[in-house]
Amino acid sequence: MATPFKTSLVAGSLLSVILLAGCVSKSDFDAVQAKNAQLEQTVKAQQAEIDAAKAQNTRLIGAIKYTVNSDLLFAPGSWTMSSAGKDIIAKMAAKLAPTMQNKLVVNGFTDNTPIGKGLAAEGVTSNEILSQKRAEAVAEFLVSKGVKPELVSAHGFGEANPIASNKTTAGRAKNRRVELGLAGQAG
């Protein structure tokens, strides 16, 4: 006949065996720990690759731009788009609108020729204002052709950032331009 002490001892031993069976050996634990360290290193390497790809994407976004001479888009001293200018931008919008996911920035630039009395009478008192109005005209036309308004912004820089000398007629013509460039993912 079993005494309560023997029963407790057997039950305790049995419980210890059951509990120990649920434990992992030191070598198994070390193997799992090594595998975990290896996986952490793999994740870090993959994150570094992702970060590098993001940096590359960012560099490309700033590098892609389409430049149109303002003389093709606007009459001199105007921000109303010409028929020829509308045709140029309409062709671009037809290609962009259906699949566009990135933001598009329309940047306007002018030469350094001072603003005339006619423009000043219309409230355009600087080349920066004229370039802003031209950039906005192109952006609004893009939207009228199906480009999502939340994906387009316009900025005027006036005579800042010339790409040619303003000392020659040809140089000033190059500086009067509108640039359309990718600005990044919409979000």
User: Could you tell me the residue ranges of all domains in the chain?
Assistant: 65-185
- Least Cα distance to 164 among 109, 119, 97, 84 occurs for 109
Cα within 13 Å of Cα(169), Cβ side = 0
Other C-beta atoms within 10 Å of 24: how many? Answer: 10
Higher-confidence residue: 6 or 70? Answer: 70
Question: Across all residues in the chain, what is the average pLDDT?
Answer: 81
pTM: 0.66
Mean pLDDT value across residues 18-23: 54
CATH architecture, domain 65-185 = 2-Layer Sandwich (3.30)
Determine contact, residues 45/38, Cβ cutoff 8 Å. no
d(CA 102, CA 67): 18
Q: What is the pLDDT of residues 137-178, one digit of tens each?
A: 999 999 999 999 999 999 999 999 999 999 999 999 999 999
| Residue 27: predicted pLDDT | 81
For 10, counting Cβ atoms within 10 Å of its Cβ (0-12 exposed, 13-18 middle, 19+ buried), the class is exposed
The percent of residues above 70 in pLDDT, for the chain, comes to: 76
| Cα Rg, the chain, nearest whole Å | 34
Q: Count Cβ neighbours within 10 Å for each residue of 30-65 and write b for 16 or more, e otherwise.
A: eeeeeeeeeeeeeeeeeeeeeeeeeeeeeeebeeee
| Residue 125: predicted pLDDT | 95
